[in-house]
Chain A
Amino acid sequence: MKKYDAIVVGAGHNGLTNAAYLAKAGMNVLMVEKNDWIGGASVSRELHKGWIYSNCSYVCSLLRPEVFRSLNLQKYGLQIVPYGGSCTMAQNGDILGSYVDGDVDRREMARHSQRDADASVRYNRDIMRQCRFIRKFLLRMAPDPTSFKLRDLKEMFYLSKEFNKLGEDVIYDMMRFYTMSISDFLDEYFESPLIKGAYAGSAIIGSALGPMSPGTAYVLLHHAMGEVDGNMGAWGFARGGMGAVAKAMAGCFADHGGETICGSGVEQIIVKNGKVTGVALENGDEHYSDVVVSNMTFPRTFLECMDEKDLSPSFLKKVKHFKIRGSSGKLNIALDGLPNFPALKNNPELIKGDMHLIDSMERLERAYDDWKNGIWSRDPYIDMLIPSLTDPTMAPPGKHFMSVFVQYVPPKVKGKDWTDEQRDQFGQTVINQIEDYSPGFKKLILHAEVRTPRELENEVGLTEGNIFQGELTMDQLMFNRPIPGFAQYRGPVKGLYMCGSSNHPGGGVMAAPGANAAREILSDLRRTNTVPEGWLDD
């Protein structure tokens, strides 16, 4: 009976990262994946002949450079190209362009408000300060504040030491920042509704919160704390789509002797005498190991893949209360040519970057009100990109792939499961919206894949379609993620570990949860650590 040193369940990017680090340490690792393809939500799929869709995640920024470099991902083909600039298009035809060059960026802001252009210097400085602080904690396990174990005390000490290094002024700023809404936060810097609306967008991505909800300033931070090649806060395209990230990680994994089996999901994680002994797949096969690492979401792991008897009732109750409500939708569109946006006629280069359709905070907040009422936003927030303009491998010459990310989309419609008809209606809402900004857009559509939280859950296993494997609110971050007492990658059963985004530091294609979990597993097994500490300093 072959016994692996570890079995990783779910070949999403965190599972792949985790498996790669374990394999690098000389362990004999098996990865099992329910789909025929790997990557989870970091995936490239040819759903229309000739086109490659990054059909879930679509841009890269949060991927930890320590992981990129220590797993040597460029050797396995990963190439991330930053895209420069973005723009926000208003309904009256005006735009707010955003540029990499600070002076150009400010000149464009000044066109809307000179005061805001001046304030943006202070704003960027303040945001970057918060980013620099939080980045120190991404590749570290969160301490358990109730524990007196040496490891936890050391982490708490590190936390308070770093905190104090900030100085009184910045500590107050941070306390306010983590509890405020992005709307109130932006009000302290800016006056232009378009500028505020534009900046607020990244504060509500994937969230069950509106821009006026306290706690959204943190979500903005979560999206600003990445980088591409040292450019802090920059976002980029992976050549070949986000599947290239998974592919490179899988390449590294295989190179170190890792084995992957696709095509059948886990039916149950087998527990005997209070210890895991392996996994039973849906197709009947069984594989054995004393270490099982789940990259699945927290609820899916414990409510769908484990026997209730193996878990305590209080633990199960907390799993059931884990908040993982989806709020996002996606359209992946194959276009017969480049769409024309009249608003961009003086700035055509902005079509290569992020395009947002939002006018003001109020419009964004009303989109959220619809989500609260259990329907998709009638006037949704849209984040569109045309990766094929930067990466020619994604579509045939002259044709394009457009990725359209949408907030807000409820996990169920008025409490009931999505129907195909509703999905299509939602898709139409979005396409009609885009047509408003780009007359003739509809005629270019060769194929459109519409994804609601239902598709995300069914295809990728993301419970309720939440893209972060769990909401990013104070009750589910750091030492609370996924739940207090189980925020250190170890499950409630011996040998069971968790490495997905339901764990610290949370969602996005970051690879940090997978890496941090690997560090803990290797430490528990008393093997050499192959996972780097966070070494970024600037």
Chain B
Amino acid sequence: MEKPVLIREDGLRHDGRRPDELRPIRMEVGILKNADGSALVQFGKTKVIAAVYGPREIHPKHLTLPDRALIRCRYHMAPFSTSERKSPAPSRREIELSKVIREALEATIFTEYFPRTTIDVFIEVLQADGGTRTAGLTAASLAVVDAGIPMKDLVAAVAVGKVDGVLVLDIDEIEDEFGEADMPVAMMPSLDRIVLLQLNGVLTREEFRNALELAKKGIMEIYRLQKESLTKKYLMYPEE
């Protein structure tokens, strides 16, 4: 595929967004019956669902830790989520992303409250259009809250990119593929802690600092939406 124009003459991106604009975001909490906690999150066309089971005891017992809960995290893409069918077998990418997502959740969950148990976090990407790990982590954090598991703060995440020399917020697949940098960032916003940070691309130190600022801006908005989605079902008075 030929490289499309990523920044138009009017300064807008290929989909009409401003450089600092997020895609339309939709979040819904508590959508699965079986899981202890769940959430569905959409960033534009990227659609992910996260579910949490636990804390619960699993066997074999010798795999548990005596002073805290284990976290088991699986980031997985559905075979129909990408343009070309993706094999269901875990790829090296999915293994790496499962690790960085788990580590982000380890930073926030009070695992020491549940020794000898396991907290299972499952993320399924249903449709992929860029920013799947950040949408997945955003959804996973909502699912953990929905499960009633104590945590320090929500985790809000977004990917910043550089396309045609311009730093942009919440990159989609096209911007990821043809751009010069892709930097996923996740934070615990109330505590101002960065719990996931990767860079795939080239940035000067100055660009990195600006990209981080831009990410923080997007993250505060996503954080606000997460909080809203959690209180949504409790603020609706049912009619009798």
Q: Do A and B truly interact?
A: no
